Amino acid sequence: MGGLFAGVAAYGAMATLRSQKRQIKEQRQFIADQSSVLELQRHELSAVKEGRRWEQARKVSCGYAASRGNEIQWLSVANRSSAPVYGVNVLWGGRHVNSTKVVVSRFTGGRTPATSPVECLNSLEEALFKPPTGGIRADIYFTDDAGQRWHMDAAGGLVSATQDEGMPRDGGGAT
């Protein structure tokens, strides 16, 4: 009789072990499935974050105002985003050039002389930069509201930049 109980107990133990092995296998599969889902979600969130990172920068634009025989009179840098941009500066032919700068408010139409670089260009404001003579290529630099520095070429091409790119080396004017 004791052997019968031992056999039943052994069978019960084996059945329990098989059940536990099956549960462990199912749990491993569940964890693997969840890991795949989490990886997809992480990828999607990264894509959304990257899109947001570029969103404000894409709403900053530049253009030229020409007159008198197509001579460029002003370079306009317009902030059409809902947040300010900072440290707006233009390099002419790769150099800082002291030139006339004016900030135009789209709300009041008022014009204000600007510093170099333009410290803050609010939403719906435009900075006008007087180019030097000779049709020199312009490179525009600014920092978005999240602290990311950007470089825009005169054709509107946009790339991220280092924090000190496009800033005067001597703290001010021409170099």
| pLDDT in the model for residue 169 | 65
132 DSSP assignment = P
Percent of the chain residues past pLDDT 90, beyond the cut: 20
SS3 content of the chain, % helix, strand, coil (to 5): 35, 35, 35
Q: Which residue has the higher pLDDT, 132 or 68?
A: 132
Residue type, 7: G
| pLDDT in the model for residue 109 | 67
Range with the poorest average pLDDT among 32-36, 126-130, 149-153, 170-174? 170-174
Residue type, 20: Q
Q: What are the residues whose beta carbons fall under 8 Å from the beta carbon of 175, sequence distance 6 or more?
A: 95, 96, 168, 169
Confidence band of 172 (pLDDT split at 50, 70, 90): very low
| pLDDT in the model for residue 42 | 86
What average pLDDT does the chain have? 81
Ordered by start, the domain boundaries in the chain are 1-58, 61-161
User: Which CATH number, 3.30.1370, 2.60.40, 1.10.3470, 1.10.10, labels domain 61-161?
Assistant: 2.60.40
Residue 106 has pLDDT above 80, yes or no: no
Q: What are the residues whose beta carbons fall under 8 Å from the beta carbon of 154, sequence distance 6 or more?
A: 62, 64, 75, 137, 138, 139, 140
| pLDDT in the model for residue 174 | 41
E strands in the chain: 60-67, 71-79, 85-92, 101-105, 111-113, 118-121, 125-129, 138-143, 149-153, 158-161
Residue 74 has pLDDT above 50, yes or no: yes
Model pLDDT for residues 8-36, shown as the tens digit of each residue: 788 888 888 888 889 988 898 888 888 88
Model pLDDT for residues 153-168, shown as the tens digit of each residue: 877 889 989 888 877 7
Tell me the backbone φ, ψ of residue 47, rounded to 5 degrees: -65, -40
Mean pLDDT of 119-126: 89
